[in-house]
Amino acid sequence: MVELEANGVRQSLEINHAERLLRMPNNGGWVLPENSRYTFDFNNGIEFKRNTREIKQAGTERADSESNQAAEQD
């Protein structure tokens, strides 16, 4: 089930039905909410979000933790 919203109303729909609605040009304003766990791409359909953090932030945190570990090993 996927939650869509339109005009302040949220409704849970099956993924196939939600994809059909989102692909329609005049779908009544149905969109995925901003805090949704899913993304929609016209070619790929609805997909589960793999990473919700910003890429820059994730890369910085990883680099910082690796540099701290290297200092502790010396």
Q: Which residues pair with 27 in a beta bridge?
A: none
> How far apart are alpha carbons 53 and 36 in whole angstroms?
14
The set of residues, in sequence order, having a beta carbon less than 8 Å from that of 44 and lying 6+ positions away, is none
Q: How many CB atoms lie within 10 A of CB 73?
A: 6
Q: Please state the pTM of the whole predicted model.
A: 0.62
Q: Which residues pair with 5 in a beta bridge?
A: 10, 31
For 27-69, how does the pLDDT look when each residue is reduced to its tens digit (9 = 90+)?
A: 999 999 999 999 999 999 999 988 756 666 555 555 555 555 5
For 31-40, how does the pLDDT look when each residue is reduced to its tens digit (9 = 90+)?
A: 999 999 999 9
Residues in the chain: 74
